[in-house]
Amino acid sequence: MTPPDTRTQLLDAAEHLFAERGFHGASIRAITDLAGANLAAVGYHFGSKAQLLTAVVLRVVEPINAAQSAGLDKLLARTPDPEVTELVEAFAGPLFDEMATADEGGARKSRLIMRILGDPAEEMREWPGPAEDTVRDRYLAAFAHALPALSANELWFRIRGILAVAAVDRVDVHNGQPPPGRSSAAARRWAITFLTAAMSAPPTGT
Amino acid sequence: MTPPDTRTQLLDAAEHLFAERGFHGASIRAITDLAGANLAAVGYHFGSKAQLLTAVVLRVVEPINAAQSAGLDKLLARTPDPEVTELVEAFAGPLFDEMATADEGGARKSRLIMRILGDPAEEMREWPGPAEDTVRDRYLAAFAHALPALSANELWFRIRGILAVAAVDRVDVHNGQPPPGRSSAAARRWAITFLTAAMSAPPTGT
DNA sequence: CCGTCATTCATACGTTCGTTTGAATCATAC
DNA sequence: GTATGATTCAAACGAACGTATGAATGACGG
């Protein structure tokens, strides 16, 4: 239990405040205060506020990508033709697992992803990206193989639907108390059911 | 074709910039510049930046709510037991119709809604709300009647899934050019198919 | 023509922002 | 113990922020 170094405390505080107030709404002063660090710490450890944001996003997204990738590997090692349900679970599951650790940390990460999905040009358009895109492309191919009747465009639309549902899920967990009958495990199951049915829908055409 | 008054030009510019950069990211100066108005115009016409935001949100959300409400009225006038597909279409359809008018205006509105979904405490927590909530509750009841096996919590989860898919849809229409094979009409149909299947999925339990 | 009201204008105020700087502090190895 | 490199600190910078104010401008009925 070594006391957390300033760098990680800055990342924690920034993750919290970026998710809660957005990039522009979270000031460096608020972040360093929450982290118990000096105002200049952000400049020293990350260079700038924008680079702090990309570091935060990277830390959130990376384990999700890794889990998604590993899940697909395991699936494809077993059979070349995974079921839609299995693909949905492997793709959407990590989004819930990684977001469900600490009850509040989960909502935080979710809100952050939500903001990323919604921010067109915000300060992060140049993203590290390679891993992210590779994983997405692999799932695109796997889904295309499992749903051969679907056009590429409609498939892409549906995959983004998965992201949307997963991201929006726990947004209001932390607004007021969580609704009584909800656990994160339940939300995960609901999402898998919901999304598997959605992905398996017959193609619309054009 | 009377030239638009300053008030509406401010609303247009603010809608644009709030959606694009968020509340904190869009400065009053940027808004008034884009609107071709004076810096003090926001203060004069709306009182403050926060009140301008609520005016913008109101203008975007109101016609959507009206269309959703009218659609449900028409459905219930025909039969007391509408199909899930019909409910999905009546609920999600207006989200696409209202967002599809101008190719860019649609993406704008969508992004704005996205931001509202994702912003936990941002400057709009006190919302006008009554109409909004009434419509949502009515659909909740109608869906509950069409899907009696679903628990209230899971139903609520699914309805928010509809919102998520609709909101996230056109977010990147305006990032780079729209993907080649996509029209807004196609996206609407895709969404209805996708969401009808999702809503109709068997209950997960618990 | 003039008075009245609504709107627009230039300008200023105080605050907060992101960033930078140079000195102070700490840890570690010699 | 002292030198060295990494980290933290208090302080300051100019810029941009939201808001308020009082004078100018416009439209319009008397």
Interface probe with A: pick from B85, B117, B169, B170, most Cβ of A within 10 Å = B117
Give the integer Cα–Cα distance in Å for B88 and B196.
Answer: 6
Name which residue leads in pLDDT, B166 or B104.
B166
- Give the residue from chain B lying closest to A195, CA to CA: B198
Identify each DSSP E strand in chain B by its residue range.
Answer: none
Reported as a pLDDT band with limits 50, 70 and 90, residue B173 is very low
Reported as a pLDDT band with limits 50, 70 and 90, residue B174 is very low
- The pLDDT tens digits of the residues spanning B145-166 come to 999 999 998 998 899 899 888 8
With beta carbons under 8 A apart, name residues in chain A contacting B167: 118, 164, 168
B182 pLDDT more than 70 = no
| Most confident region among A196-205, B97-106, B175-184 by mean pLDDT | A196-205
For residues A30 and A69, the answer to whether their CB atoms sit within 8 Å is: no
Architecture of domain B60-200 in this structure: Orthogonal Bundle (1.10)
Q: How far is B66 from chain A (nearest CA, A)?
A: 24
With beta carbons under 8 A apart, name residues in chain A contacting B165: 161, 164-165
Structure tokens at A90: 């492997």
With beta carbons under 8 A apart, name residues in chain A contacting B119: 22
On whether any CB of chain A is under 8 Å from the CB of B198, the answer is yes
Q: Is the CB of A29 under 7 A from strand C?
A: yes
Q: What share of chain B is helix, strand, coil (3-state, %, to 5)?
A: 70, 0, 30
CA distances from B61 to B64, B120, B129, B150 (A): 5, 18, 10, 28
Least confident range of A195-204, B136-145, B173-182: B173-182
Listed in sequence order, the residues at least 6 apart from B26 whose beta carbon sits closer than 8 Å to its beta carbon are B14, B17, B18, B20
Reported as a pLDDT band with limits 50, 70 and 90, residue B98 is low
For residues A111 and B115, the answer to whether their CB atoms sit within 8 Å is: no
For residues B170 and B187, the answer to whether their CB atoms sit within 8 Å is: yes
Reported as a pLDDT band with limits 50, 70 and 90, residue B109 is low
- Mean of the pLDDT values across residues B45-56? 94
Name which residue leads in pLDDT, B90 or A114.
B90
Query: Residues 20..79 of A with a Cβ closer than 8 Å to B: which?
Result: 20-25
Q: Does A22 sit within 8 Å of B194, measured CB to CB?
A: no
Say how many Å lie between the first and final Cα of chain A, rounded. Answer: 57
- Give the residue from chain A lying closest to B26, CA to CA: A24
Q: What is the pLDDT along chain A (206 residues), one digit of tens a residue?
A: 556 799 999 999 999 999 888 899 999 999 999 999 999 999 999 999 999 999 998 898 888 899 999 999 999 999 999 999 999 999 999 988 766 554 455 556 667 777 776 665 555 555 555 556 688 899 999 999 999 999 998 999 899 899 888 877 655 544 444 455 556 778 889 999 999 999 999 998 76
- Give the residue from chain A lying closest to B172, CA to CA: A120
Q: Is the CB of B111 under 7 A from strand D?
A: no
Q: What is the dihedral of CA A62, A64, A65, A70, to 10 degrees?
A: 120
Residue A85 confidence (pLDDT): 96
Residue B187 confidence (pLDDT): 84
Say how many Å lie between the first and final Cα of chain B, rounded. Answer: 57
Give the integer Cα–Cα distance in Å for A179 and B155.
Answer: 13
Residue A97 confidence (pLDDT): 77
Q: Which nucleotide is nearest to B24 (CA to C1')?
A: D17
The pTM of this model reads 0.85
Q: How far is A199 from chain B (nearest CA, A)?
A: 7
Q: Does B160 sit within 8 Å of A122, measured CB to CB?
A: no
Q: Which nucleotide is nearest to A46 (CA to C1')?
A: C19
